Amino acid sequence: MNVLVLGSGGREHALSHKISQSPSLGKLFIAPGNAGTHQLGENVAMNIEDAAEVGAFVKANAIDIVVIGPEAPLVAGVHDGLKADAALSDLIVVGPRQAAAELEGSKDFAKEFMMRHNIPTAAYQTFTKDTLAEGQAFLETLDAPYVLKADGLAAGKGVLIIEDLDEAKEELKNMLVDAKFGDASSRVVIEEFLAGIEFSIFALTDGQGGYVILPEAKDYKRIGEGDTGLNTGGMGAVSPVPFFDAALRERTVKEIIEPTIKGLVKDNLPYQGFVFFGLINTSKGPKVIEYNVRMGDPETEVVIPRLESDLIDLFVAMHEGTLDQVDLQVNPQTAATVMVVAGGYPEAYKKGDTISGLRDFEATTVYHAGTKGTDEVVTNGGRVMAFTSFGADKDEALAKSYASIAEVSFEGMNFRKDIGFDL
Ligand code: AMP
Ligand code: GLY
């Protein structure tokens, strides 16, 4: 089967790496890809949010499976655009239709979905600029800290957590009236603050109520050690998560995963693809912080390497609606990944710096993110590479990743030395 992966991050390199190991693979294309995916298949320049452009490539290259990595093309309706072409009716598309992608595209939509299906999440209300005064009054009824969320996609930056009531009221105005996050904050969800430890669960669903639960992971979002400083796309991840024990798993499946998968079917939201449950384990049990309609990055760089089942087989089962019959095989060892980033990230950073010391490490797989080049590899983004290793526990896995990182360098290179510190 010929496969096209859309995206250019560590997530897409990890997915491509796994797909490239499948005996069912014919040709592999990645659009636009990076220096890592270049070694696995053919990188193709393409506007991945333009369904007509993607569709033309699919037809010209007899693609059987399109894997949509990031949220933007999903929320833009690329899946729908592809399926609008009768010639592509048999194409397997991994990623939901636009209507279902609203679970990530609109926080208010996701909250209403959870209310409808009785899925535990923080209490909330949604406001617009016409209801600013009501929003500010609602803040007065809550305890600090205050959680303000831009309704739409804001590249992971649309959530503010504020200690001071007056500052929260001011920021609500900035978001609603002064368009702090552009159109994304024309609606704002104000939420009850939840205390607890966060973790992520991933499922692949066939849209007919069938699903498999992939290995869980914990992500480290802040730039600084000890979870301090600005939020990033993610600085590292560990899988499995030791506190996700049998009891928590049972509760999460019963209260969150099952009702979500069934809710998608009940609400007629066409969903074939990965569901990302961003969860927090509170004193009252697990609750949903957010849904994403794709795999996480860097979580993919630990979750997918742990899969022993063939990924193309899983995509075919998804397409045929037989995921319920799949017995997923998972490596019981611990996988850990450490993200190496450009100096200055997540604020302004440089691109184009030469990366030296890269080689095939025995104990570590390097998943490229912001890189480009063929012979000489240079930096091309804030998050540059994820170093994934396996071990009997997280310490053993992380020691291998840190040893490999020590051999690699580029100007301004930065990474967190404490991934997994709280486990
Ligand atoms: P989100 O984009 O919704 O995942 O939010 C980004 C981050 O903000 C999450 O990973 C949490 O750390 C934090 N967060 C979001 N909502 C809440 C909440 N209701 N209570 C506590 N922390 C939250
Ligand atoms: N690592 C978090 C995300 O992919 O959204």
**Inside any domain, residue 7:** yes
pLDDT greater than 80 at residue 156: no
Give the C-alpha separation, 51 to 100, whole Å: 17
**Inside any domain, residue 242:** no
Q: Is 102 in the pocket of ligand 2 (CB under 6 A)?
A: no
User: Domains in the chain: how many in total?
Assistant: 2
Boundary (domain end) residue, out of 51, 69, 102: 102
**Inside any domain, residue 88:** yes
Ligand nearest to the backbone CA of 10: 2
Same domain, 16 and 73: yes
3-class state of residue 91 by DSSP: coil
Count, residues in the chain: 423
Q: Which atom of ligand 2 is nearest to 219's Cα?
A: 1
**Inside any domain, residue 33:** yes
Provide the residue range defining the domain that includes 170: 123-191
* Res 181: pLDDT: 85
**Inside any domain, residue 308:** no
Q: Which atom of ligand 2 is nearest to 292's Cα?
A: 5
Nearest protein CA to atom 2 of ligand 2, as residue = 296
Ligand nearest to the backbone CA of 160: 1
Phi, psi of 303 (to 5 degrees): -75, -50
Boundary (domain end) residue, out of 136, 159, 191: 191
141: CB partners within 8 A, 6+ apart: none
Q: Is 296 in the pocket of ligand 2 (CB under 6 A)?
A: yes
Boundary (domain end) residue, out of 152, 173, 191: 191
**Inside any domain, residue 23:** yes
Interstrand relation of 378-379 and 371-372 (parallel, antiparallel or unpaired): antiparallel
Same domain, 58 and 140: no
Which letter, b or e, does each residue of 178-207 get, where b requires 16 or more Cβ atoms within 10 Å of its Cβ? Answer: eebbeebbbbbbbbeebeeeebbbbbbbbb
What's the rounded mean pLDDT across residues 8-16?
98
pLDDT tens-digit map of 170-219: 999 998 888 888 788 889 999 999 999 999 999 999 999 999 999 999 99
Pocket test for ligand 2, best of 297, 301, 337, 339 (most atoms within 8 A of CB): 297
**Inside any domain, residue 178:** yes
Same domain, 29 and 79: yes
pLDDT tens-digit map of 339-378: 999 999 999 999 999 999 999 999 999 999 999 998 899 9
Give the C-alpha separation, 228 to 4, whole Å: 38
pLDDT tens-digit map of 65-89: 999 999 999 999 999 999 999 999 9
The CATH code of the domain that includes 49 is 3.40.50.20
Same domain, 18 and 86: yes
Give the C-alpha separation, 369 to 206, whole Å: 28
The CATH code of the domain that includes 178 is 3.30.1490.20
CA dihedral sign of residues 281, 419, 305, 69:
positive
92 within 8 A of 315, measured Cβ to Cβ = yes
3-class state of residue 48 by DSSP: coil
* Res 187: pLDDT: 92
81: CB partners within 8 A, 6+ apart: 51, 52, 54, 55
* Res 266: pLDDT: 97
- Range name among 12-26, 149-163, 274-288 with the lowest pLDDT average: 149-163
The half-sphere exposure of 131 on its side-chain side, counting CA atoms within 13 A, is: 13
Nearest protein CA to atom 3 of ligand 2, as residue = 296
**Inside any domain, residue 90:** yes
Same domain, 149 and 93: no
* Res 183: pLDDT: 86
Nearest protein CA to atom 8 of ligand 1, as residue = 159
* Res 380: pLDDT: 96
207: CB partners within 8 A, 6+ apart: 264, 265, 270, 271, 272, 318, 321
pLDDT tens-digit map of 136-145: 999 999 999 9
Q: How far is the CA of 156 from the centre of ligand 1 (A)?
A: 10
Nearest protein CA to atom 4 of ligand 2, as residue = 296
Same domain, 90 and 146: no
